[in-house]
A and B are shown apart, each in its own frame.
Chain A
Amino acid sequence: MPDPATITDALRAAQARGLLPTSLGTAELRELGEDVLARSVFTARGTNAVFVDALKKVVDELAGGNMDEATARVTLMETLRAVGYTPEGGFPDAPEGSVPPALAGTLQDLSSKRRLDLIIQTQRGLMVGAGQKMRGSVPERLRLAPAWELVRVLPVEVPRDWPSRWLLAGGRMSEGGRMIALKGDPLWGELGSYQNFQDALGVDHPPFAFNSDMGWDEVPAREVRRLGITGPDGETPEEWLASEPRTLTGKQPLPIPVLSTRDMDPEIVRTLEAGGAVVRGDQATIPAGTAELDRRAAERDARRQERMERAVREAREAYERGGTP
């Protein structure tokens, strides 16, 4: 039992799910609907309840940071051995003919390294992504960083064309080809919808698709304003968050945000008020003025960039000296 004080968001997301032993393949599982899948731990053609139960426990341990992937793989492999799984015959308790025989070592073989890696990495990625979404949706985080940026977390030799997917999902390219949208924007759901993309996982958070190696960075409010990021119908971040947007699955509304009128065009404030919005805060500023604050913000950005470059440079030097295995 993990220490409640150190429980991770990924583990919270993992623990909220039930078990779904099934003989269906991935494509057939999709027919069950996103709601069932989002709340279930399953693996295609995993009919055995003992195995799926072990999978849930392993995912919980991974999500809690208490188990590494190699141990997870061995645990699942030993569970498969213990319940008598074979690639040719499947699980002994599965109804005859319910699962087609698999060639040992292929992705269809539940006990193959490739398959177990895929299961573990997908489940781990889903839990980390769900935890990140959960964490980014609390009111303080919505105010500090109202948008996500889609980023590649791992370089791959042949990347899928994510910019095209972004545009297909209804996204707009920001400065420098950056893919940024407000939290809760339906396009995140479109990006992970298997009605749009065959390899999608049916979620509105990273990794969006099998083996995508894509993730999220939070985008600070100031950057969002600078880039002019808006909601799907041109709403300001404040307007969008005030509308309590629902994700594609439509089951998880974001928390009610605190609406701020800071730096907002007075015309927009009047429009909001006329529209019945509850506008809190005022336009008061202290005499320091915005020029000084802008200068401080620019200096801060420069310090942060320099800090990151220094950290990477020093890590690289230490690594080359052999300090890091």
Chain B
Amino acid sequence: MNVEVNIRDEAGPALVRIQTGLRNRQALHAQIARDGENFLKTYGRTISAEHHRTASRLGAKPTNHLLNAYQAIESEGKPELAELRIPRASRLRAAFGDYVVRPGSGKTYLTIPDHADVYGRRVREFPEGTFRFAILHAHRVFPVLLFAAAGGRHKAGDVAYWLRRELTIQADTTLIRFDLLAEEARDSVEEYIDTLRRGGEA
């Protein structure tokens, strides 16, 4: 009896490809970065459409500041890491913890808009004499800017801005879900490996 044994290495090339792919960390990180960016942008687009509490309360047109911040998120796969770049001058900063906002150099107060006519706008955008400074006395004193004269939707004496020497912005963990980003990254890695298994290139 003759027995012919043929040994064919079909898995070898695939294993080499997977090993090579797993060594190519930049490609792996690119997948994680891209998926993370897409996750945050899709999430941001949905939630920022609903987050207009101040604008709604004042009856003002939303500024879409939060949506714009999400849309400005960028990502990059580098050899050593997957990077997500979040705009720092935005409310998304609260995703990283509490922070204190203080007036810029040469200024005394932060201005917190409290009327639809000034929502999303800075005091300096209005002509001189639009507002007058006042102190409101309640359980403590509140410095404010009142409208000096009637116009638009306001009456003379309406509060336009609250003035604060500093403002603590509370951390908001719902802005960027780092826990879900980690889950997303796990799926990205699985997808990357599956792509290699299917015969895709890294």
Contact = CB atoms under 8 A, between A and B. Distances in A.
Nearest to A135: B74
Interface residues of B, number: 64
Contact of A285 (B47, B68, B197): B197
B10 A284 contact: yes
A280 B201 contact: yes
A312 B87 contact: no
Contact of A153 (B11, B67, B200): B67
Contacts of A78: 124
Interface stretch (B141-149, B155-163, B182-190): B182-190
A227 interface: no
B53 interface: yes
Interface residues of A, number: 67
Contacts of B195: 262
Given A128-B72, A262-B198, A284 B13 contact: yes
B116 to A, nearest CB: 14
A215 interface: yes
B42 interface: yes
B109 interface: no
Contacts of A34: none
Interface in A45-103: 65-71, 73-74, 77-78
Contacts of A144: 30-31, 34
Contacts of B200: 143, 260, 262, 281
Contact of A217 (B26, B41, B187): B41
B53 to A, nearest CB: 6
A113 B88 contact: no
The listed residue with most A CB atoms (<10 A of its CB), out of B26, B54, B172, B198, is B198
Contact of B121 (A113, A153, A155): A113
A1 interface: no
A74 B53 contact: no
Given A143-B201, A300-B191, A131 B34 contact: no
Contacts of A296: 190, 194
A262 B50 contact: no
Contacts of B11: 284, 286-287
B105 to A, nearest CB: 13
A316 interface: yes
B47 A304 contact: no
A218 interface: yes
Nearest to B12: A284
A283 B184 contact: no
B199 A77 contact: no
A288 interface: yes
A282 B199 contact: yes
Interface stretch (A5-13, A25-33, A171-179, A245-253): A5-13
Interface string A112-153: 010000000000100010011001001011011100000001
Contacts of B134: none
Given A69-B65, A74-B122, A324 B199 contact: no
Contacts of A284: 10-11, 13-14, 17, 199
A135 B71 CA distance: 14
A325 B45 CA distance: 17
A68 B88 contact: no
B85 A65 contact: yes
B14 A285 contact: yes
A300 B180 contact: no
A307 interface: yes
Contacts of A267: none
A68 B15 contact: no
A281 to B, nearest CB: 5
Interface in A273-325: 280-288, 290, 293, 296-297, 300, 303-304, 307-308, 310-312, 314-316, 318-319, 323-325
Given A71-B122, A284-B11, 11 more contacts: A8-B85, A65-B85, A140-B77, A144-B30, A153-B67, A217-B42, A263-B199, A281-B199, A293-B197, A311-B180, A312-B47
15 contacts: A65-B85, A65-B88, A74-B125, A140-B30, A141-B34, A284-B13, A284-B14, A284-B199, A286-B14, A303-B183, A308-B43, A312-B47, A315-B47, A316-B47, A324-B51
Q: Which 4 A-B pairs have the closest CB atoms?
A: A65-B87, A140-B30, A286-B14, A262-B199
Interface of A: 6, 8-10, 65-71, 73-74, 77-78, 113, 124, 128, 131-132, 135, 138, 140-141, 143-145, 153-155, 215, 217-218, 258, 260-263, 280-288, 290, 293, 296-297, 300, 303-304, 307-308, 310-312, 314-316, 318-319, 323-325
Interface of B: 10-11, 13-15, 17-18, 26-27, 30-31, 34, 38-39, 41-43, 45-47, 49-51, 53-54, 63-65, 67-68, 71-72, 74-77, 85-90, 120-122, 124-125, 172, 174-175, 177, 180, 183-184, 187, 190-191, 194-195, 197-201
